């Protein structure tokens, strides 16, 4: 495995990344909460990009993977800053964003924060606004009180050690919500969602499709697929969605 490169953000965070040179638009993979750039979907897309001679970027948010910082120090806004800083520093021209889970939220924030750079979007079990609509809304009164008094609570995870959810993560998330106001996606957008996803309910994908506005948005529901969305059939669907967006974008030029 090759060693990552690092970019220092304006906030001083060291962002680890791997970039594959090739034809544009550059395809960028944005991972989920507490995930990293060595996951199945990221590596599969990198292999696809190498075979297609496409430019590709995968990276770790601060507090994730090989980047600097602690997870509990970060929040949605910090990670959005990481995304913007890295994309501006190491990529040129139009971008196709592929956002998984929390990365789906981050891709929507990027579409709002740097719309001039985004030519297309693919989301996989996108989780926009989850800190408010899923976490905070699902907390008991005791958990909410514990969070306010102690600054953090621990949530069980199916993916390893418990998630430490901080007051900062919840409060900052309220400043990053995308489903409460206009959400313009003026480019091809493909949303992928499994019906057996235990972490992001299918209703979230339907809400995103209904709420966003754009000329070319499509939602694909995969019967029985879970949140990982990483079996061979799902990986093939991700590839197909990326290729469809690239083709649609090229046809619009």
Indicate if the pLDDT at residue 251 is higher than 70.
no
| Mean pLDDT calculated for residue range 94-106 | 98
- pLDDT computed for residue 252 by the predictor: 55
Does a structural domain hold residue 164? no
Assigned domain for 154 exists? no
Evaluate whether residue 59 is within a structural domain.
Answer: yes
Mean pLDDT of 83-96: 96
Give the whole-number percent of the chain exceeding pLDDT 70: 98
Domain range for residue 95? Answer: 5-133+178-247
Q: Look up the CATH number of the domain holding residue 21.
A: 3.40.50.1820
pLDDT for 110 beyond 60: yes
Q: Is 154 helix (H, G, I), strand (E, B) or coil?
A: strand
What would the pLDDT profile of 46-59 be if each residue is shown by its tens digit? Answer: 999 999 999 999 99
pLDDT of residue 157: 76
- Number of domains comprising the chain: 1
Mean pLDDT across the stretch 105-134? 97
Q: Is the pLDDT at 253 greater than 80, yes or no?
A: no
| Residue 253 placed within a domain | no
Name the packing angle between helices 76-90 and 102-113 (round to 10°).
Answer: 60
Please report whether residue 61 resides in a domain: yes
Residues facing residue 57 across a β-bridge:
19, 28
12 or 251, greater pLDDT: 12
Q: Taking 90 as the threshold, does the pLDDT of residue 160 lie above it?
A: no
- Res. 1 pLDDT band, cuts 50 70 90: low
Is residue 69 domain-resident? yes
Residue 152 lies in a domain: no
Q: Which residue has the higher pLDDT, 45 or 161?
A: 45
Continuous H helices in 91-227: 102-113, 130, 137-138, 141-150, 167-173, 202-211
Mean pLDDT of 144-160: 88
Confidence at residue 29, expressed as pLDDT on a 0 to 100 scale: 98
141 lies in some domain = no
pLDDT higher than 90, residue 149: yes
Question: Do 105 and 130 contact (CB within 8 A), yes or no?
Answer: yes
């Amino acid at each position: 495995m090759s060693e990552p490169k690092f970019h220092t953000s304006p906030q001083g965070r060291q962002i680890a990344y791997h970039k594959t040179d090739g034809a544009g638009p550059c395809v960028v993979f944005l991972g989920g909460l507490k995930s990293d750039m060595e996951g199945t979907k990221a590596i599969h897309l990198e292999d696809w990009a190498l075979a297609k001679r496409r430019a590709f970027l995968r990276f770790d948010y601060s507090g994730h993977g090989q980047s600097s910082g602690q997870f509990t120090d970060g929040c949605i806004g910090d990670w959005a800053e990481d995304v913007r800083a890295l994309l501006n520093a190491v990529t040129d021209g139009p971008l196709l964003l592929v956002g998984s889970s929390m990365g789906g939220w981050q891709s929507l924030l990027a579409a709002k924060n740097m719309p001039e750079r985004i030519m297309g979007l693919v989301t996989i079990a996108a989780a926009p606004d989850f800190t408010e609509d899923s976490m905070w809304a699902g907390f008991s009164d005791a958990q909410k009180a514990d969070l306010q008094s102690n600054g953090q609570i621990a949530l069980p995870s199916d993916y390893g050690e418990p998630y430490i959810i901080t007051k900062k993560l919840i409060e900052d998330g309220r400043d990053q919500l995308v489903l409460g106001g206009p959400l313009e996606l003026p480019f091809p957008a493909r949303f992928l969602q499994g019906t057996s996803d235990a972490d992001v309910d299918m209703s979230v994908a339907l809400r995103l499709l209904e709420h966003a506005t754009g000329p070319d948005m499509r939602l694909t529901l995969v019967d029985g697929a879970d949140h990982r969305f990483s079996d061979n059939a799902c990986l093939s669907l991700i590839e197909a969605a990326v290729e469809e967006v690239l083709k649609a974008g090229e046809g619009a030029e």
